[in-house]
Amino acid sequence: MIYEDIETASRDEIRAVQNERLRETVRNAYENVDYYREELDEAGVSPEDIETVDDIHKLPFTTKEDFRAEYPDGLFAVDDEEIRRIHASSGTTGKPKIVSYTEKDLDVWSDAVARSLAAGGVEPGDTVQNAYGYGLFTGGLGLHYGVEKLGATVIPIGGGGTQRQVEMLQDLESDAISCTPSYALYLAETAEEMGVDVKDLPLSTVIFGAEPCTEPMREEIEERLDVNGIDIYGLSEIVGPGVSNECHEAQDGLHLWEDRFYPEVVDPETGEPLPEGEEGELVLTTLSKEALPVLRYRTGDLTTLNYEECECGRTMVRMDNVTGRADDLLIVRGVNLYPSEIEDVVLEFDEVAPYYRIDLDRENNLDTIEVTVELVDDFDGDVDELHDRILTRLENVLSFTPDVLTLAEYGTIERTEVGKVQRVFDHR
Ligand code: DLL
């Protein structure tokens, strides 16, 4: 189901909307946010210089450090009376990034989420169990209002309480659940422990996001829960969930709602724009936000853009699913590695459960890396032989051998019931 006509508009139509909204956004930022006025003045750019999206590169970037420096409300463009809601993105260090919404912003956001859900195969009348955390995190309320906007029923269960989640799936016959990918797996595991066969339940879709999910992880979710695993992407600074979403027809990239958020992909080192199809850092500009216009935000997320029309009929650009962030890069004794590359290799093994952790340390001034993976519950093979096979595969695919590879028993690695999973522990 296509939720809004603009999703199938021609490139010219999309461009026209983007150009007009970009001009408005820049004007709003310049006139109402001291920070942007100073930045643009310093860069020698006036709002009149921005006529079309082709001029966007003239604008300076906004970074997470700018959000922190302007904490709490230095980037807000409206008076307090116009703000209807505040959210915050926690982050692991420093102050949270505070974000705000006017009534219209909330409306645009819930439409973006409704669009996303419809693309993911959720229909009006369906029941969606929303297992994202409610509160300052944008996942809970973001999904909540999107489900309602679509005309579906939301069960606002929030994060955690996994046994109850399973009971609700059974008793209320939820058609879809929204949660992080790691939680979807934990749910499957809990259901198994409870003796509930999730495959027998009506559940047909998992809307997962807020964390990276590699292909083997998605396959595991789809298989264990017998569902369509649909990827939803977003970030608080831009709006929250609903910036882009996979369509259930193709499941081949996430349609980015580019009438609301303008995407670019740049070289993470130099900031130079990259041609279509090349992987780099996603940069987003809000096109409709009143309370918090954001110009060229460096998301830190690595992806590629694909402007080919999709088989679902939507014309909006697709981004590759995000499996890493520019700042996830692990440099171990000079070798560059992304955790997702390790995940891709280890989860290829049927004997390995989808739980792992990576520990980095330093001994005698030398980096060390330990990879711990879990064996499946019913493993009855030769551990040493499997250990050697995994090491050889890591060596062949990544030219990398961990100092220690531990094959732990099933259930050893801590599960994340609430919030985002952490898999890399840097003790250096
Ligand atoms: O995680 C918003 C969200 C909630 C998205 C629920 C999807 C579902 P933040 O807490 O601000 O917002 O974190 C944003 O999370 O820059 C990515 O690094 C990561 N992220 C979000 N969605 C995905 C995804 C929410 N589908 C940061 N795949 C982003 C990979 C994702 N990473």
Q: What is the CATH number of the domain that holds 361?
A: 3.30.300.30
pLDDT at 336: 86
Cβ(231) – ligand 1 distance below 6 Å: yes
Range 185-209 average pLDDT: 96
pLDDT at 93: 65
Cβ(147) – ligand 1 distance below 6 Å: no
Please report which residue ranges of 236-379 form alpha helices under DSSP H.
339-346
CATH number (domain holding residue 64): 3.40.50.12780
Residue 363: count of CB within 10 angstroms of its CB? 9
Amino acid residing at 9: A
User: Is pLDDT above 90 for 406?
Assistant: yes
Cβ(209) – ligand 1 distance below 6 Å: yes
pLDDT at 148: 98
SS3 of 76, please? coil
Q: Whose CA is nearest to atom 30 of ligand 1?
A: 212
Cβ(233) – ligand 1 distance below 6 Å: yes
Q: Whose CA is nearest to atom 4 of ligand 1?
A: 139
What mean pLDDT value characterizes the chain?
Answer: 96
Q: What's the rounded Cα separation, in Å, for the pair 422 and 146?
A: 27
87 and 43 in a single domain? The answer is yes
Listed residues 296, 322, 348: the one ending a domain:
322
Please report which residue ranges of 329-412 form alpha helices under DSSP H.
339-346, 383-398
Listed residues 322, 341, 373: the one ending a domain:
322
Cβ(113) – ligand 1 distance below 6 Å: no
66 and 171 in a single domain? The answer is yes
71 and 209 in a single domain? The answer is yes
Q: What is the gyration radius of the CA atoms in the chain, in angstroms?
A: 22
Amino acid residing at 244: S
Handedness of CA 70, 71, 74, 77 (dihedral sign): positive
Cβ(186) – ligand 1 distance below 6 Å: no
Ligand 1 atom nearest the C-alpha of 325 is: 18
208 and 240 in a single domain? The answer is yes
Q: Whose CA is nearest to atom 12 of ligand 1?
A: 235
Amino acid residing at 245: N
pLDDT in tens, 47-67: 999 999 999 999 999 999 999
202 and 351 in a single domain? The answer is no
Percent of the chain with pLDDT over 90: 92
285 and 244 in a single domain? The answer is yes
217 and 311 in a single domain? The answer is yes
Cβ(138) – ligand 1 distance below 6 Å: yes
284 and 341 in a single domain? The answer is no
Cβ(229) – ligand 1 distance below 6 Å: no
Q: Is the peptide bond before 72 cis (omega within 30 degrees of 0)?
A: yes
Burial class (CB in 10 A: 0-12, 13-18, 19+), 272: exposed
Q: What's the rounded Cα separation, in Å, for the pair 310 and 300?
A: 26
Report which of 260, 255, 200 is spatially closest to residue 231, judged by C-alpha positions. 255
89 and 238 in a single domain? The answer is yes
SS3 of 329, please? coil
312 and 342 in a single domain? The answer is no
Tell me, in angstroms, the distance from the centre of ligand 1 to residue 208's CA: 10
Q: What's the rounded Cα separation, in Å, for the pair 33 and 286?
A: 15
Cβ(234) – ligand 1 distance below 6 Å: yes
Tell me, in angstroms, the distance from the centre of ligand 1 to residue 197's CA: 29
pLDDT in tens, 367-400: 999 999 999 999 999 999 999 999 999 999 988 7
Q: What residues make up the domain containing 309?
A: 1-322
Listed residues 278, 307, 322: the one ending a domain:
322
Cβ(139) – ligand 1 distance below 6 Å: yes
pTM across the whole model: 0.94
Report which of 48, 64, 142 is spatially closest to residue 97, judged by C-alpha positions. 64
Tell me, in angstroms, the distance from the centre of ligand 1 to residue 395's CA: 31
pLDDT at 365: 86
Cβ(242) – ligand 1 distance below 6 Å: no
H/E stretch holding 145: helix 138-150
Residue 331: count of CB within 10 angstroms of its CB? 10
The DSSP line for 319-343 is E-----BGGG-EEETTEEE-HHHHH
Cβ(325) – ligand 1 distance below 6 Å: yes
Tell me, in angstroms, the distance from the centre of ligand 1 to residue 236's CA: 8
pLDDT in tens, 8-47: 999 999 999 999 999 999 999 999 999 999 999 999 999 9
216 and 240 in a single domain? The answer is yes
261 and 356 in a single domain? The answer is no
Total of domains in the chain: 2
Residue 74 backbone class (left: φ over 0; alpha: ψ -120 to 50; beta: rest): alpha
pLDDT in tens, 240-293: 999 999 999 999 999 999 999 999 999 999 999 999 999 999 999 999 999 999
